[in-house]
A and B are shown apart, each in its own frame.
Chain A
């Protein structure tokens, strides 16, 4: 049934319109509405049976319970009864995943502190979401296109984005491989790593992901091989662009993998003030999108769920939604003090009771794949690497000043930009040595702005 639907889907997007109604392998409504005898017949243009009792409905499970959360490892790292461990996670892979997870809080600690010291303009930590990031990254193909929100550094680093890249981009120095000092810190992006440029406006990447996925499907070299994976928080899912992205990916065949990081907070707003329904997952079926909720602090559950979601998404060439339940342990950003809106004790409790790193470490230890000694060695090595990369990046000059005017347009440069660049050059020549704010600032740039001052009009 499914396969037949998929085949017709590829030919005519509309032919498969009734698919999600006629075959509902994972969605809830079937349970909510037990098969009614069609004594009153069907509506002409749908499979909706006509009934004579007036009954409102809500939630997708129908009996008042919420959508279940898929888990593989319990809180002490032991497989939950009935759970299947991913076969391909052997010792090497598991260790790599753990080390990638462990790297994040070490980067976070240093960057958070140097931001507090004023050495960095801005930073956002990943505390508590390490398993969601690394579990999903490991389940994707490295050339699946990723569109992120801003708390997804782990995904990019899993693909080989180095500590040096990360630091250079954070400082926006002359080696910044991402935006060349044009965007705020944490706005990463790398064509080489199939990781689209992060931008601050929330949720804008969601309908873009559907477009990226559509393009993948139209590319003979990547059709059936790749998907577009889009990450966003539960707060961003309140934006109209979430609605648009889900609609487009379900209506126009586009293998889009939606990964919602539901960490309970959008800055100060708790999820309870963000939505009244059953989280983000409950919305998926409304769009005809296969949906699953997963324990975001369980790296193996995330891995299994995303891997299967990815397979389904590519096979059916349409959207699939994964909601990862986690908790934002850190502040929203360095501009936020989260204890102004949530008790410190709550955060401490969550850290102690459900630390994704500790859970996975216990799994490794139980298998003899990890030891306390290795933990110490790893932490010392990572700290050393992070500090070294930081120190290297910190002292590099900013990019050449003329880059400020570049890459606004492709092709011929508009006159207005040429003139404005020349105008700045003239002003720099006139005041660069006497106007203190500029004088100090210019010294931080590669070439100290000379190329602008010397340009000929």
Chain B
């Protein structure tokens, strides 16, 4: 399965087990602009899989209403770039619904899916990674998968989590990431990072698409090509880099990251969103507080620049494997 098929499979599983579950958003009925809801309307009927008017604040508000009645609402925002009209409904309403009524009402059965991150040619409004904007919204969860298997397990967990969840799907992976995905119903835990590669010299932390750039950078570190070779001192080519996929941005898994950095003494955080006010800043501050005596180098952030994602310049905007390699080398040789 590729990732859009895995998402579709998760939605089907969720709707099969839960008669109250409905899927809605702009253009979801014919299968969705990324094919994530293909055939769901035929399988479950138009009462459970339906188009909404083109209004993101309406989609979020409508979903909160369904969830407030205890039914499962799976809303889609067509691109994460267009989630901002729903910011008020998400931050002021969904996130605070439980707290403000002291548990009498909650929007816990709401999940908002949205394609996010860059796609090569998406420019300002088809490329954004807005997870950092939601990080201060206590009461919601933010989840980002890296692969089809992860997408299915994490999405099913998000749909069933007793809190409103924003589920951001890296859109470039919809077709490009393909792997064996269990067809049965399974869940992966939220708020738990996953260590993908064990290491002892440096912790490399990321989520979503850049996980793959990190992986490539690790290969480049061990075996730099001829042209890059002069920039990678032989003494660090054998360095053991630990790669962690954060998976849940809020609440994030501090224990796994702290445990890792306490062993490695070095942390590099990679994300596509701009640096200022980004998730990396939050993680970096917490890690320097908890691992101060163990750190052998400053926490390094490799992120998008503090500019809108630009159309023709995307290759120079992205925290690609070269930039990650450079940051890793700098941190290892500090």
Contact = CB atoms under 8 A, between A and B. Distances in A.
Contacts of A412: 191
Contacts of B100: 179, 182-183, 187, 189, 197, 199
Interface stretch (A202-210, A264-272, A366-374): A202-210
A211 B66 contact: yes
B71 interface: yes
Given A204-B61, A207-B57, A208-B62, A13 B50 contact: yes
Interface string A198-231: 0101001011111111111011000000001000
Interface string A376-418: 0000000000000000000000000001001111111011110
Contacts of B254: 415-416
A207 B89 contact: yes
A190, A251, A406, A409 — which one has the most chain B CB atoms within 10 A of its CB? A409
Interface stretch (A123-131, A241-249, A335-343, A351-359): A241-249
Contacts of B68: 196, 208, 211-212, 215
Nearest to B67: A211
A355 to B, nearest CB: 35
A14 B50 CA distance: 10
Interface string A4-37: 0000000011100000000000000000000000
B106 A210 contact: no
B255 A410 contact: no
A414 B71 CA distance: 24
B46 A410 contact: no
**B47, B62, B161, B163: residue with the most chain A Cβ atoms closer than 10 Å:** B62
Contact of A408 (B24, B52, B138): B138
Contacts of B251: 409, 414-416
A214 B104 contact: no
B65 A213 contact: yes
Contact of A199 (B66, B67, B93): B93
B235 interface: no
A212 B162 contact: no
Given A197-B97, A199-B96, A408-B139, A212 B22 contact: no
A180 B101 CA distance: 8
Interface string A178-197: 11101100010111000011
Contacts of B57: 207, 240-241, 244
Contacts of B138: 408-409, 417
A411 B161 CA distance: 8
A13 B70 CA distance: 23
B233 interface: no
Nearest to B102: A180
Given A189-B101, A215-B65, A411-B162, A201 B93 contact: yes
A252 interface: yes
A102 to B, nearest CB: 29
Contacts of B101: 178-179, 189, 191, 197, 407
A394 B213 CA distance: 61
A199 B163 CA distance: 19
A432 B249 CA distance: 35
B64 interface: yes
Contacts of B55: 207, 240, 243-244, 247-248
A212 B110 CA distance: 13
B104 A189 contact: yes
A145 interface: yes
Interface in B94-147: 96-106, 108, 138-139
A145 B65 CA distance: 11
A407 B139 CA distance: 9
B61 A241 contact: yes
Given A247-B58, A251-B53, A410-B163, A210 B65 contact: yes
Nearest to A180: B102
A240 B73 CA distance: 22
A190 B104 contact: yes
Given A12-B46, A197-B105, A211 B63 contact: yes
Contacts of B106: 410
Contact of A201 (B47, B66, B92, B105): B92
B308 interface: no
Give the interface size bracket for A toward B.
Answer: 35 or more
Interface string A414-429: 1111000000000000
B265 to A, nearest CB: 22
> Interface size for chain B: under 10, 10 to 19, 20 to 34, or 35 or more residues?
35 or more
Contacts of A196: 68, 105
A326 B103 CA distance: 35
A408 B99 contact: yes
B298 to A, nearest CB: 23
B236 interface: no
B88 interface: yes
Interface string B57-88: 11011111111111101000000000001001
Nearest to B110: A211
B51 to A, nearest CB: 9
Contacts of A214: 22, 62, 65-66
A208 B61 contact: yes
A244 B255 CA distance: 42
B105 A191 contact: yes
Contact of B98 (A228, A245, A409, A414): A409
Contacts of B161: 411
B225 interface: no
B276 interface: no
A208 B22 contact: no
Contacts of B63: 211
B229 interface: no
Given A145-B69, A189-B105, A410-B163, A182 B99 contact: yes
Contacts of A189: 100-101, 104-105
Contacts of A410: 98, 103, 106, 108, 162-163
Contact of A215 (B69, B102, B104, B163): B69
B20 interface: yes
Contacts of B255: 415
Contacts of A208: 61-62, 64-65, 68, 93
Contact of B62 (A145, A197, A207): A207
A183 B92 CA distance: 13
A13 B46 contact: yes
11 contacts: A12-B46, A191-B105, A196-B105, A197-B101, A197-B104, A199-B93, A204-B89, A211-B73, A247-B58, A407-B99, A410-B108
Which are the 3 A-B pairs with shortest beta-carbon distances?
A211-B65, A207-B61, A244-B58
Interface of B: 20, 22, 24, 46-47, 50, 52-53, 55, 57-58, 60-71, 73, 85, 88-89, 92-93, 96-106, 108, 138-139, 161-163, 191, 251, 254-255
Given A183-B100, A244-B58, A406-B103, 7 more contacts: A204-B89, A207-B61, A211-B61, A211-B62, A211-B73, A215-B20, A403-B102
